[in-house]
Structure 1
Amino acid sequence: MRKIDIGKGEILASAISLGCMRMAKLTEKEANIMINTALEEGIDFFDHADIYGAGKSEEIFANAIGMTPGIREKMLLQSKCGIRSASFDFSKEHILEAVDGSLKRLKTDYLDVLLLHRPDALVEPEEVAEAFTILHSSGKVRYFGVSNETPLQIELLTKYLNQKLLINQLQFSVMHTGMIDSGITMNMKWPSTVDRDGGILDYCRLKDITIQAWSPFQYGMFEGVFLDNDKFPELNKTINEIAVKYGVKNTAVAVAWILRHPAKMQVVVGTMNPQRLRDTCKATNFELTRQEWYDIYLAAGNKLP
């Protein structure tokens, strides 16, 4: 498994992370197989959130693997907090309580990374800073980041934080390309020129913030997958032809398309199917050519000026 440098020198981690959102639906035996498959494939980074399965995903993960200090040392554990059932909450009190809850469920003394889970419109950055300082000084959280935040939202937090934000988790796939479309079609009078992301891609590269790409196979938000979907014949034809060339499955090509970007993103894969995960991990064994990358981009319905 290829490694990536998260935060430019802070964490060395697998280029693919296992997203554990759906783990709540597994039995402990099934979860054990899934986690061990990930470890066998070289995945050492596991993405959680307190909202996933209302905490059950974290619980099943720890129980399934039989969490011990020895096992814990082999893993990088990330969790997220801030989403409530019908609101967001980045208050100091909630952040501290959420982390304690995740630590208890994951049966560990610390998180390698804590992300703020989507933006809270009522965020008070001074409170976030207080919470992060307490968590960091106590050893409960080693590193911090955010998800789905704009450059200015990150700048506002950074003004008050004593810790560097290493990660921004963003939706990105060949069917969700907004943060590169506006750059490619800059100065054109096309719908794709509209910048809905605030220049977040280039901002993260300038600030050495690693982008974690979530939903690498989805189109829309959660409308379904684009692979093997009759709605996208040209895209699937192109991906399948490239898959044959490299001797891999289409999932590997879809992930390789993300990994080919020079921003050096980490891809969060949420499958709970062991074989599908094995197939996908082959994405780190080859690199798409520049032309193949653009062929897939165009086959997805995008245009070049």
Structure 2
Amino acid sequence: MATQTDIRAHKLAYGCMGLGGDWDTRPYTPQDIQHAETAIEAALAAGITAFDHADIYRYGKSEAVFGEVLARTPGLRERVVLQTKCGIRLPEGDRPGHYDLRGASILRRVEESLARLRTDVLDVLLLHRPDPLADPRDIAGALSSLHAQGLVRQFGVSNMSGPQIASLQAHLDVPLVVDQLEMSLERRDWVEAGVLVNTPAAARNGFAPGTLEHCAANGIRLQAWGALAQGRLTRPDTPVGHLVTTLARRKDTTPEAVLLWWLQRHPAGITPVVGTTRPERIGACADAVRREPELTHEEWYELWVAARGTPLP
């Protein structure tokens, strides 16, 4: 059974990519720390206790300012679940951006993340992107070592298909418990794939078939990054935005909660990751934690068809 220390028990996660100042290597400022503290407080007030990072966010500054807040707030570490990702290397000089899931690199990136976050253990580590050159046995050795040392409690992946997860899991004794994918009412290829079978449009859908089914069958929790589509779906001057706001009034909730409910209502089991840094918008997500998704079967389809702009096949 999942517990609050198990990432799969969390209905919502806060994405920390917006924390830490600019996307450059300049040091973070006291204002950046305050900005992070305000966002973290708003997330906690909304009932969100899972926080999603990656080692590359703001060139490491997202983790670092979060670590500053942890250091100055006694007892906060025990109240939150920390998840981070590794595997993407940003461009540097003449070296292009690339993926690196070599075992030695994973161990080094985790050590760096632990230092920036000022903690002695990560609750969850995700592999950020597939690395075509990586040896699954090498990856498994690194993850097993991190687990045996007590440095990481749970593991998962991001942006990977069901077969890729199965290939890695075949070499691992510890289970992979998360797959984080871009999923929203705007980015719908994951749900479209299930109804486009035997239609000409199926060939144009890029979502890997069977991924949702693999995750459901193996106890892997789906996390949805980009869940709020940066506010594009809550504008009432668009057909889908009008429907979202209408449903929000009908349900006595917020447009943000309606969008998150749409994801949570799916039986695959989806934990949306919200990344806004605006405290009022973080607060607007609270009903996705405090209430069960209050969308009927028909309302869920209304939202889907409105977002598609065309009828279902």
* Correspondence for 2:57 among 52, 76, 80: 52
Structure 2: segments with no counterpart, 5+ residues: 22-30, 91-96
Checking the alignment, whether the CA contact within 8 Å between 1:181 and 1:193 is kept in structure 2 is no
Is 1:304–2:312 an aligned residue pair? yes
Distance in 1, matches of 2:232 and 2:179, equals 23
8 Å contact from structure 2 (residues 20, 33) kept in 1: no
> Match of 2:179, SS?
strand
> Equivalent of 1:212, from 223, 231, 250?
223
| Distance in 2 separating the partners of 1:144 and 1:129 | 11
Give, in whole Å, the separation in 2 of the partners of 1:134 and 1:128: 10
CA change 1:173–1:99 in 2 (3 A) is same
1:277 matched residue in structure 2: 282
Contact 1:35–1:65, Cα closer than 8 Å, also in 2: no
Whether the 8 Å CA contact 2:234–2:245 is kept in 1: the answer is no
One of 92, 112, 129 as aligned partner of 1:101:
112
Q: Which residue of 1 aligns with 2:138?
A: 127
- Say what the alpha-carbon RMSD is for the aligned residues: 2.2
Letter in 2 for 1:51: I
**What pairs with 1:130-145 in structure 2 (closer than 5 Å)?**
130-145=141-156
Matched-pair identity in %: 38
Contact 2:8/2:221 (<8 A) preserved = no
Say which SS state the counterpart of residue 263 (structure 1) adopts: coil
Distance 1:71 1:17 in 2: 16
- Deviation digits for residues 24-79 of structure 1, max 9, x if unmatched? 12621221121122112211100000000111000101112435673211111000
TM-score normalised by structure 2 residue count: 0.88
CA gap of 1:22–1:195, structure 2 versus 1, over 3 A, is closer
Q: Residue 69 of structure 2: which of 51, 64, 71 is its match?
A: 64
- Contact 1:257/1:288 (<8 A) preserved: yes
Match of 1:75 in 2: 80
Judge conservation of contact 1:21–1:49 (CA < 8 Å) in 2. Answer: yes
- Matched to 2:232, the amino acid is V
TM-score by length of 1: 0.90
Aligned to 1:33: 38
1:173 aligned counterpart, secondary structure: coil
AA matched with 1:172: M
1:14 aligns with 2:22: no
For residues 194 and 272 of structure 2, what CA distance do their matches in structure 1 show?
A: 21
Could you tell me how far 1:192 is from its partner in structure 2? 7.3
Q: Say which SS state the counterpart of residue 109 (structure 1) adopts.
A: coil
Paired residue type of 1:236: G
How far has the Cα of 1:212 moved from its partner? Answer: 0.3
How far apart, CA to CA, are the structure 2 residues paired with 1:45 and 1:123?
A: 29
> What's 2:47 paired with?
42
Structure-2 change in CA distance of 1:194 and 1:41 (3 Å): closer
Aligned residues: 295
Q: Say if 1:13 and 1:207 are closer, same or farther in 2 by CA, change over 3 A.
A: closer
The aligned runs of 1:136-285 (5 Å cut-off) are 136-191=147-202, 194=205, 196-218=207-229, 225-228=232-235, 233-284=238-289, 285=291
Moved more, 15-24 or 29-38: 29-38
Stretches of structure 1 that go unaligned for 5 or more consecutive residues are: none
Which of 265, 288, 299 is the aligned partner of 2:295? 288
- CA separation of 1:194 and 1:35: change in aligned 2, threshold 3 A: closer
- Contact 2:182 2:225 (C-alpha < 8 Å) held by counterparts: yes
Deviations 1:185-215, CA, capped at 9 Å, x for gaps: 3222335774532221111111111000000
Cα 1:64–1:10 shift into 2, 3 Å? closer
Q: Which runs of 4+ in 1 moved over 3 A?
A: 4-7, 9-13, 191-195
Aligned amino acid, residue 111 of structure 1: L
SS at structure 2 position matched to 1:18: strand
Can you list the C-alpha shifts for 1:206-237, whole angstroms capped at 9, x where unaligned? Answer: 11110000001228xxxx7333175xx21111
Q: Distance in 2 between matches of 1:207 and 1:215?
A: 24
- The answer (yes or no) to whether the contact 1:19–1:269 under 8 Å persists in 2 is yes
